Amino acid sequence: MTTMKTIFLAWQNPLDRTWFPIGRLTF
């Protein structure tokens, strides 16, 4: 699943705070 990968990336990248909200929105 692409969504899961996006969330994983956001979680793995704590420095990228912008990814956090994006991953949550995609979920």
Q: Give the whole-angstrom CA distance, residue 7 versus residue 26.
A: 8
Q: What pLDDT does residue 12 have?
A: 55
- Per-residue pLDDT 10s for the chain (27 aa) are 566 665 565 555 555 555 555 555 554
Q: Give the whole-angstrom CA distance, residue 6 versus residue 16.
A: 12
Domain extent for 17? 1-26
**The model scores a pTM over 0.75:** no
Q: How far is CA 1 from CA 5, 6, 11, 15, in A?
A: 7, 9, 16, 23
Q: Which amino acid is at 26?
A: T
**Domain count of the fold of the chain:** 1
Tokens at 13, concatenated: 């990248």
Q: Give the whole-angstrom CA distance, residue 15 versus residue 1.
A: 23
Q: What pLDDT does residue 27 have?
A: 47
Q: What pLDDT does residue 23 have?
A: 54
